[in-house]
Structure 1
Amino acid sequence: MKNKKTSTGGLSLIFIDRQEVVEMLPNDWKAKAKSITDTLLATQSDAARKKLIGENEDLWRSIKGVLAKVSHDKCWYCETADVRSDNAVDHFRPKGRVAGVASHQGYWWLAFDVKNYRFACTFCNSRRHGDGGTTGGKADHFPLLDGSQRAGGPSVSISIEIPMLLDPCDYVDTTAIWFDETGQVKVNPEVLAVDDNASDRVCISRDIYHLDHVRLIEARKRIFLGVLDMCDRADNALLTYKSTQDPNARTLFRDSINSLKRMKNRDAPYSSVAICAVKGYRNSSPSAKLVAEA
């Protein structure tokens, strides 16, 4: 077995196209969301707004299935799929309050904006203690870069903000995290060329999304090493076929390549980890190079 040297580069988190979600929503849902938002904008009292949001929270819950379908039932933050978990519709910008910012009333005007929704597992969405002493969960956290302005109401565009949390709906953000053979979260150094704060954002996102949960690390490690082993199997089969012309070796090589491709598919378990493994191994493995560049 060859020495498994891996490098960095490439996509690491699944990218969720918000426009795809919007197009899947029924028109009556969009109309109702707009109507409630219009009412919110016309409401002057914080208490009245909170009451209105609370009375209509079933609206975002009603499209949880749509959000799940886009990601093949996997959490948008950590890519875990668990049919036993009561996965939630997370408001990326918290609707009621912002942790650590006592003066902020939350991004209430985005409470019914589907582009502010993220499909999240329990450990990414809620504050939990995990194995190995880890703690995480997004809850009401939405930290910004030091010095960044924060939108305090609908009259101020959220584009003034520089979030420290990586967003699965932002393609550049999805390239910032890299996974290695230990299953740990790393920063992709190639992203530093376009985001000076990538290292800090990866660290903060790891902690808040609870991406260092021990069981999650172990699951990523199994996928990563499984990909490397499959690459070795394909490489060995290819060498055997070239030297012997054994048709069984040819079949094994092609079947192994097909398996690698399936491991990278968006519906596969922790496909982002498989993508990292293939790309990181491409300089050592002809099979990984073939699949990475296909």
Structure 2
Amino acid sequence: MIFIDIQEVISTLGGDWKAEARLLTDKLKEAENESQRKAIIAENEDIWRQLKAKLSDFAHKKCWYCETFTYRADNSVDHFRPKSRVYEDKDHPGYWWLAFSPMNYRFACTYCNSRRHDAAGTSGGKHDHFPLVDGSPRATGPDAPLSVENPLLLDPCWMPDVGAFWFDDTGEVSVNPSFKNVDEHAEEKVRESRHFYHLDQVSLVEARRRVHRKVLSLCDQADASFFSWKKTKDHSAKVAFGEAMNSIARMRDRTAEHSAVAQCAIRGYRHSSISASLSCDS
């Protein structure tokens, strides 16, 4: 997961789009009952679909939750807080007042956004789920501040959440030890997010494992070339060192698929590899 500045996304939206979104939100607030609200939402779904390409571009065409490009597609605009109902609270009407709010939009692949069962036996997908920390109040209408909530689902648009995941050479998701010092519910948030974003899907785990393995291999190549260069002063070894370092930089760049995995691999290897240490410092 990489940080997406949703405020920056909103700043690029056209005035006509924003005006239409405000108008529809006002209509929702003026609706007399739930049926009218649902009809307004159903009749105007195109308004968030218009933003699909823009949301995709802000994450370099990667899912905001799992950082994949295509194989968990097709992608869609997810309402981070479900617009029509909340699975964990049967009496909740859904966050209908956020249906046309771009602050609530996330770009998500099918496996993160919809309930799916993997052939290997895993299941997940966010769908209408929005669990909160036990005891947390839940906003029930437009006058209730969302700040009262403590969501269990990690949010790519909330910087403190972005570093919560840790990826090792197995490709599995665990808790970043540093996140435990930030949030007392770290373990639970990572566990629930891993499940509801379906981050344990077998093909996704394997893809992360390959990235982790490739980064370490590049670090080993860079180290070997570096020490050869220092020992022999052979210019070709210096060039090989630079090329390997460039490859590492490309894998950890936010435009790369699973760049957060590459970052973890480098950080975890920095005490054993001079190239990983240099990459961490750059």
Q: If the TM-score is normalised by the length of the shorter chain, which range does it land in? A: over 0.9
2:61 matches 1:73: yes
What is the CA–CA distance in structure 1 between the aligned matches of 2:40 and 2:118, rounded to whole Å? 35
Alpha carbons 2:72, 2:109 under 8 Å: kept? no
Picking from 9, 19, 22, the partner of 2:7 is: 19
Picking from 96, 108, 117, the partner of 2:96 is: 108
Structure possessing the higher relative contact order (Cα contacts under 8 Å, 6 or more residues apart):
1
Q: State the Cα distance separating 1:84 from its structure 2 match.
A: 8.3
One-letter code of the match for 1:92? F
Alpha carbons 1:131, 1:213 under 8 Å: kept? no
1:105-144 mapped onto 2 (5 Å cutoff): 105-144=93-132
SS at match of 1:50: helix
Aligned to 1:221: 209
What is the CA–CA distance in structure 2 between the aligned matches of 1:131 and 1:258, rounded to whole Å? 37
Aligned to 1:235: 223
What is the CA–CA distance in structure 1 between the aligned matches of 2:187 and 2:260, rounded to whole Å? 19
2:164 matches 1:182: no
Alpha carbons 2:164, 2:179 under 8 Å: kept? yes
- State the TM-score, normalized to the length of structure 1: 0.94
Aligned to 2:260: 272
One-letter code of the match for 2:160? V
One-letter code of the match for 1:67? L
SS at match of 2:106: strand
1:1-294 mapped onto 2 (5 Å cutoff): 13-82=1-70, 85-294=73-282
SS at match of 1:133: coil
Aligned to 1:6: none
The one-character-per-residue Cα deviations of 1:113-168 (angstroms, maximum 9, x if unpaired) are 00100100000001000132100000000000100000111111111000000001
One-letter code of the match for 2:3? F
Aligned to 1:10: none
Alpha carbons 1:131, 1:215 under 8 Å: kept? no
Alpha carbons 1:145, 1:164 under 8 Å: kept? yes
What is the CA–CA distance in structure 1 between the aligned matches of 2:219 and 2:6, rounded to whole Å? 34
Runs of 4+, deviation exceeding 3 Å: none
Specify every segment of 5 or more residues in structure 1 that has no aligned partner in the other structure, as ranges. 1-12
Specify every segment of 5 or more residues in structure 2 that has no aligned partner in the other structure, as ranges. none
One-letter code of the match for 1:226? K
What is the CA–CA distance in structure 2 between the aligned matches of 1:232 and 1:66, rounded to whole Å? 38
Q: State the Cα distance separating 1:190 from its structure 2 match.
A: 1.0
Alpha carbons 2:72, 2:110 under 8 Å: kept? no
- State the TM-score, normalized to the length of structure 2: 0.98
SS at match of 1:19: helix
Q: State the Cα distance separating 1:83 from its structure 2 match.
A: 7.3
SS at match of 1:169: coil
What is the CA–CA distance in structure 2 between the aligned matches of 1:20 and 1:235, rounded to whole Å? 39
Q: State the Cα distance separating 1:39 from its structure 2 match.
A: 1.2
The one-character-per-residue Cα deviations of 1:16-68 (angstroms, maximum 9, x if unpaired) are 11011101211111111011111111112110000001110000001100100
What is the CA–CA distance in structure 2 between the aligned matches of 1:34 and 1:106, rounded to whole Å? 18
Q: State the Cα distance separating 1:210 from its structure 2 match.
A: 0.2
Equivalent residues, number: 282
